């Protein structure tokens, strides 16, 4: 008679033999998201929104784009929902990542399964049809993202952005832009000319070794000060820090400065599953513990995590 262990092992072997071979192999050296994030010491306010996160694949169901610059690990919606509940958040804003290109199927699938508790930011092809835009809006998409990070894109998408701005205007969508601080001088005038709400990812990626009074960060603050339609995410200390985890202390002055100066135009997100990180894979619980260091009062925490994202992504509920 076979032992229980033998039976379990045989069943596992049979299951493995019947599982489809993965269609995509993640890049060598790719850092997979934290398998067991800690539970945060900081308790986020009820109704808090993780306003910047992603879903990847799974590649067998939602193939990665042939034009992608990287192949990630699978990070499906189910894992994102588990993380949301573990960290104490109520809602998500899922941002289309460049590995999926302009195929937003994985994003839309996650939104449709979220029971209204997620909104999305997509990436669009220039020739996108009005019918497709309307279908994505019904699913919960509320913005379109443009990547200006030169190492991640082949060309800066200025013309495409301007053309698509007219297409998304009837839907009331906003624009999300991703760039690096050293490129802001050449892009400043263009960003300032955009006619709709604009959200900048990750504080414009400042060089935190130079301090908050450095010309690059000062220019970014000026961009927000002179353009009331421009918001920013005070996210991703793990991408910016030189001192590293768990405190990311060198990023704190930058996030705190933006939260204090522009309290009604800041958002926060985990950036799960943290694509393309080279130095380390952050503990998402410790990232949540970063929040009270930059939003130092209950009022600022409520604005950052609840009021601002709800006003932008669920205005019909916020205005009740």
The confidence score (pLDDT) of residue 158 equals 83
Q: Give the active site residues.
A: 271
Residue 234 confidence (pLDDT) above 80 = yes
Instruction: Tokens for 143, please give them.
Output: 């913005």
Backbone angles phi and psi of 73, in degrees to 5:
-75, 155
Give CA separation, 228 vs 223, 237, 264, 277, 310, in Å: 9, 24, 10, 32, 18
Residue 14 confidence (pLDDT) above 50 = no
- Please say whether the structural domain 41-318 has been given the CATH code 3.20.20.140: yes
Residue 263 near residue 311 (C-beta atoms within 8 A)? no
The confidence score (pLDDT) of residue 318 equals 82
Length of the chain, in residues: 320
Residue 174 near residue 198 (C-beta atoms within 8 A)? yes
Instruction: Tokens for 70, please give them.
Output: 């990287």
- Give the tens place of pLDDT for each residue, 76-88: 999 999 999 999 9
Residue in 302, 293, 215, 216 with CA at minimum distance from that of residue 257: 293
Residue 63 confidence (pLDDT) above 50 = yes
Residue 206 near residue 217 (C-beta atoms within 8 A)? yes
Tell me the C-alpha distance between 254 and 96, whole Å: 26
Q: Where are the domains of the chain?
A: 41-318
Sheet of 174-178, strand order: 49-53, 91-95, 118-122, 141-147, 174-178, 198-200, 230-233, 266-267
- Give the tens place of pLDDT for each residue, 135-186: 999 999 999 999 888 766 666 678 888 889 989 999 999 999 999 999 999 9
Residue 8 confidence (pLDDT) above 90 = no
Tell me the C-alpha distance between 112 and 140, whole Å: 8
Average pLDDT, the chain: 91
Residue 12 confidence (pLDDT) above 60 = no
- Give the tens place of pLDDT for each residue, 90-141: 999 999 988 999 999 999 999 999 999 999 999 999 899 999 999 999 999 9
Q: How large is the average pLDDT for residues 60-77? A: 95
Residue 267 confidence (pLDDT) above 90 = yes
**Orientation angle between helical segments 252-261 and 284-294, nearest 10 degrees:** 50
């Amino acid at each position: 008679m076979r032992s229980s262990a033998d039976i379990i092992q045989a069943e596992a072997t049979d299951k493995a033999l019947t599982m489809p071979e993965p269609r995509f192999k993640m890049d060598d050296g790719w850092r997979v998201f934290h398998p067991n994030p800690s539970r945060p010491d900081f308790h986020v306010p009820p109704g808090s929104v993780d306003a910047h996160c992603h879903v990847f694949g799974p590649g067998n169901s939602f193939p990665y784009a042939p034009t992608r610059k990287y192949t990630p690990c699978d990070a499906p919606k189910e894992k994102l929902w588990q993380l949301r509940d573990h960290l104490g958040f109520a809602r998500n804003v899922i941002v289309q990542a460049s590995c999926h290109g302009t195929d937003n199927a994985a994003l839309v699938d996650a939104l449709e399964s979220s029971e209204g508790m997620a909104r999305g930011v997509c990436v669009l092809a220039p020739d996108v049809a009005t019918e497709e835009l309307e279908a994505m809006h019904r699913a919960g998409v509320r913005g379109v993202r443009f990547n200006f990070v030169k190492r991640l894109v082949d060309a800066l998408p200025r013309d495409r952005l301007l053309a698509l701005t007219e297409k998304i205007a009837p839907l009331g969508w906003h624009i999300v832009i991703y760039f690096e601080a050293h490129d802001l001088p050449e892009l400043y005038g263009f960003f300032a000319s955009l006619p709709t709400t604009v959200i900048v990812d990750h504080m414009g990626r400042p060089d935190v070794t130079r301090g908050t009074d450095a010309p690059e960060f000062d220019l970014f603050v000026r961009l927000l000060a002179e353009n009331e339609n421009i918001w920013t995410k005070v996210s991703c200390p793990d991408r910016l820090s030189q001192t590293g985890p768990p405190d990311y202390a060198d990023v704190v002055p930058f996030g705190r400065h933006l939260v204090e100066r522009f309290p009604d135009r800041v958002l926060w997100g985990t950036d799960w599953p943290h694509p393309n990180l080279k130095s380390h894979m952050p503990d998402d619980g410790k990232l949540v513990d970063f929040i009270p260091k930059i939003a130092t009062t209950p009022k600022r925490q409520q604005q950052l995590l609840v009021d601002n994202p709800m006003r932008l992504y669920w205005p019909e509920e916020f205005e009740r």
